């Protein structure tokens, strides 16, 4: 990797920290949604818990596609195909969320397996993301 791009490397460091923080936040929102769906939290309407999770995911995907992935690509152009695959997966998750939202509106009774399938896919997605981050040299904080 080229070492003459200190501005890009610093930006990438910031984006990577933001990405990790958002992954943690998404896990918290997922747990909250599971609590509502599983009947352990009656205080929050299911539609609200779902909207919070869906909106946070959309914001996260947008941040990655506008900021983190371009910074990673700038330092490691060879990661392009892997980053493009991650963007395609964002589209798949968004489609699955739309379908889950529709099931929630219709009062479907198989919501938890659908949510768990999305979460399992996202776990693998995030692990691959974090694996790519590890391939990019991050400057000392």
Q: What is the binding site for Fe ion (CB under 5 A)?
A: 64, 129
CA nearest neighbour of 96 among 72, 115, 120: 115
* Residues 78, 96 contacting (CB under 8 angstroms): no
Q: Which is nearer to Fe ion, 15 or 129 (CB)?
A: 129
* Closest distance to Fe ion from the beta carbon of 111 (Å): 23
Looking at the Cβ atoms of 54 and 64, the one nearer to Fe ion is 64
Nearest approach, Cβ of 69 to Fe ion (angstroms)? 8
Of 140, 129, 42, the C-alpha closest to 86 is: 129
Residue of this chain nearest to Fe ion (CB atom): 64
**Token couple for 114:** 């659908």
Q: Which is nearer to Fe ion, 72 or 111 (CB)?
A: 72
């Amino acid at each position: 990797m080229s070492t003459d791009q200190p501005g890009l490397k610093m930006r990438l460091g910031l984006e990577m920290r933001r990405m990790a923080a958002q992954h943690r936040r998404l896990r918290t929102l997922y747990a909250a949604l599971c609590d509502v769906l599983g009947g352990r939290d009656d205080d929050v309407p299911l539609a609200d818990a779902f909207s919070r999770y869906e909106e946070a995911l959309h914001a996260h995907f947008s941040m990655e596609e506008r900021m983190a992935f371009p910074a990673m690509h700038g330092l490691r152009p060879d990661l392009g195909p892997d980053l493009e695959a991650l963007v395609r997966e964002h589209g798949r998750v968004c489609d699955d969320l739309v379908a889950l939202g529709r099931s929630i509106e219709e009062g479907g009774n198989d919501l938890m397996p659908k949510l768990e399938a999305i979460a399992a896919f996202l776990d693998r997605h995030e692990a691959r993301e974090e694996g790519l981050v590890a391939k990019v040299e991050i400057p000392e904080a």
